[in-house]
Structure 1
Amino acid sequence: MKSLLFRLAGNFSAEIGSELYLKLKEETHSPSLFCLDFTEVTEVTEVGWEFLRKMAERCKETGSKVAGFGLKTHIPNEQISLLTFFSDESECIHFLESFFIGDTPANEQSPIPSQEGKTIHCPECQTLLRFKQMGDHLCPNCQSKFFVNSKGWVSTYERLL
């Protein structure tokens, strides 16, 4: 999961809001974490709040998370539920990191990757299997089909009866 820290300064208005929204939109093709530093922001305009609302919605749609810290201006009541704000950077980062999912798949057995590949369990019969690359696989024991991604996560295919 990618994480980015944006340090903002000046008036958070249409100009900064639109640039930040476009950058965030570009980065949310996969779930990401976004930390917004408002310590140098002197004012958030009404249009700026609208861009923050759009960013929060985009993150919600893509499984990304966004939070801010250091905001010195008053948050309007209608905008309070928009983003989570913290007083300092470490609290904000700790909050965002709580959503981080590591690269190690839950069903992988060997903690040290070997040259022959990684091991997984068949999602149907739990047979221990080795795989070398991502893609479609067939269990030799139960003949169930499943997909393994580059991190070793297994997705089963639904059967139509």
Structure 2
Amino acid sequence: MKSLLFRLAGTFSAEIGSELYLKLKEETRSPSLFCLDFSEVEEVTEVGWEFIRKISERCQETGSKVAGFGLKNSVAEENSQLLSLYPAESDCIHFLESQIVSETPANELTPKSEEKTVHCPECQTLLRWKLAGDYLCPNCKIKFFVNKKGWVSTYERLV
């Protein structure tokens, strides 16, 4: 299962909302975890909340999970039910990891030789790994991180 962290900034309105929705729509072809960092967001407009609703619905349809943290402004009652919001990044990540049903990551294969493998998040090339850390796919040259459990996170930023 792929996990992505999106760091957002400025006013979350139609422009950022539509860009984020299109990116998540592309990434939800398979179930994924999405963590939204609102710590640098000054305001979420009414249209922005509409995109958050669309993002939430898309994630429910595809089996993906989405949560956010760091929203400074108070949230209206009807909007607070659209997205699980947490005060800190660690709380948000803990919630998302708790939503995973299986102990074994979906993208990790465990052959009898105990060799650990993951699929590249971009080109799906099967890659071997030993320790948690940064890796570079030799096929498509994308840089990604593999944690101790074998979860793959790509490095992306929406500006």
Normalised to the residue count of structure 1, the TM-score between the two structures is 0.65
User: Following superposition of structure 1 onto structure 2, how do residues 30-49 of structure 1 map, counting pairs within 5 Å?
Assistant: 30-49=30-49
> CA deviation digits over 1:19-62, x for unaligned, max 9?
00000000000000000000000000000000000000000000
Whole-angstrom CA distance in 1 between matches of 2:66 and 2:38: 13
Structure 1 equivalent of residue 24 of structure 2:
24
Whole-angstrom CA distance in 2 between matches of 1:54 and 1:70: 20
Q: Is 2:68 aligned against 1:88?
A: no
Structure 1 equivalent of residue 112 of structure 2:
113
Whole-angstrom CA distance in 2 between matches of 1:44 and 1:103: 34
Give the aligned length.
111
Structure 2 equivalent of residue 74 of structure 1:
74
Q: SS at the partner of 1:30?
A: coil
Q: SS at the partner of 2:73?
A: coil
Give me the CA root mean square deviation. 2.2
Asked which structure has the greater RCO (Cα within 8 Å, sep 6+), the reply is 2
Whole-angstrom CA distance in 2 between matches of 1:103 and 1:86: 24
Q: SS at the partner of 1:73?
A: coil
Whole-angstrom CA distance in 2 between matches of 1:53 and 1:103: 28
Question: Runs of 5+ in structure 1 lacking a partner?
Answer: 105-110, 116-161
Larger Rg: 1
Label 1:93 to 1:113 Cα distance change in 2 as closer, same or farther (>3 A): same
Whole-angstrom CA distance in 2 between matches of 1:31 and 1:37: 20
Q: Which runs of 4+ in 1 moved over 6 A?
A: none
Letter in 2 for 1:2: K
Normalised to the residue count of structure 2, the TM-score between the two structures is 0.65
Deviation for aligned residue 1:95: 0.5
Question: Runs of 5+ in structure 2 lacking a partner?
Answer: 115-159
Whole-angstrom CA distance in 2 between matches of 1:103 and 1:24: 20
Whole-angstrom CA distance in 1 between matches of 2:30 and 2:42: 32
Deviation for aligned residue 1:76: 1.3
Deviation for aligned residue 1:103: 3.4
Whole-angstrom CA distance in 2 between matches of 1:61 and 1:89: 25
